[in-house]
Every structure is written in structure tokens, then in C-alpha cells.
Amino acid sequence: MLSDTPPPTRTAASTDLELPRPGRLVLSAVMSLAESFGLPVAAYLGAAAVTGRAGGMIAATAVIWLTAGIRKVATRTVPALLVISALVFTLQAILVIATGSELFFLLQFPLANLALSVLFARTAPTQRPLVAQLAAEVVALRQPTARQPGLDRFFRQATWLWAGIFAASTVGMGILLATESAGAFLLFTTAVTIGGVAAGTVASALWFRRSMRRFGFRVRFAQS
């Protein structure tokens, strides 16, 4: 006997992706970046001016782990970006303190990018790709309750993209380290890092917009 109950329909709201209002979105992103990079960099610059590189790295690493500990106690969770920052600063601090040489001080930059590439690649094929976690934490993107294959596919592919960006940065920095002076290496490394992150961010945003249209998702701002 056939039921008269119509099959459930997918409402537009069920496939909406929600962002906080623009002001809150910017505030969320700024606060996330400030606690993950701003605080440890400020600690490094302040301590390095007094005690040198090793002291600066110790201060930066201590600040980032202290921030993670406060986060854990206050919210019972530690954001993925904060974990990434803590791991990178710890790796860099170990290299600088253990060797004390300028070569290993410079080597920390390509090794940090290599670690990031491995981290992104490791999460890409899983159910929790790193880009999805960062989107939820940094810009407070709220995803549909039910799993969406198209959305999951985008986040996995975008995570592979960032793994590739950091891998390419590692290779580029390795070449610069072997061919350039220390001053030129630091200058070019800064340019490569900023350029790579900027290009990856723009590419990810455009890819996200195109993917959401193709899969029928709508991105909207929260009303409250």
C-alpha cells in the first residue's frame, strides 16, 4: 500500500552555508590570526631585541603554548590554526636552540613549510580536511547539518591545494638557501611566503565560489 506522505524535500536553508555578519567575520579572522601569529611574533621581536634569536624563539614558543593552554581551559578546544602555529614555532625553536648556527636558523623556514605541507596532505583524504576546520574556526563558516558530498569534495581538494602550495614553497626556499646570501634569502623567503599565501587564498576563494554554485549551495550572512 502506497503512503500518501510526500517524500522529504531539501529546503534551500538545508543547503545554506552561513557566515557571520561582515563585521563579526572580520573580527573573527583578525582575532584568530592575532592569537596564532601576532602574539608569538610580537614576543619573538621583543625578546630577540634583548636576548637574541634563541631567546626570541623561546619566548614565541612559550607564548603560543600558553595561549593554547588558556584556550583549552576556557573553551575545552584548541583551534587548528593555533595548533599549527604551535607546532611550527616549536620546530623552529628546536632548530635554532639546538644548533646556534646561521645555516640552521635559515633552514627552519623551508622545514616549517615542509611540515605544513605534510600536515595538510595528511588530513586531505580524511573526513576532517584541514581547510574545512580552518574555515569553521577562522571565518566561522557554518556548514549544513547533513553531510554534503560536493562540499566535502571541495574541502578535500582545497586541502590538497594548500599541501601543494607549501610543498612548492619548500622547494623554492631550498633553492634560495643554496644559491643566495642570508640577507637575500630572508628577503625572498618573505616574498615567497606572502605571495604563496595570497595566491592560495585568492584561488581558494574563487574555487569555493565556483564550487558552491555548481553544487547548488548558497552562502549567506547570518541575520543576528
End-to-end CA distance of the chain: give it in Å, rounded: 46
pLDDT at 198: 86
Query: Helix H segments across the chain?
Result: 22-33, 39-51, 53-75, 80-99, 102-123, 130-138, 149-179, 182-214
Residue linked to cell 573526513? 127
> What residue segments make up the domains of the chain, in order of their start?
15-221
- 84: Cβ contacts below 8 Å, ≥ 6 apart: 36, 116, 119
CA distances from residue 130 to 28, 34, 89, 125 in whole angstroms, order as listed: 18, 19, 19, 10
pLDDT at 5: 43
Kindly report, residue by residue over 83-139, the tens digit of the pLDDT: 888 988 898 888 878 776 666 778 888 888 898 999 999 999 998 899 988 888 887
Extract the C-alpha cell encoding 108: 627552519
| 8 A C-beta contact, residue 140 and residue 19 | yes
Spans of the chain, pLDDT less than 70: 1-15, 100-103, 145-146, 223-224
Query: Phi and psi for 221 in degrees, rounded to 5?
Result: -90, 145
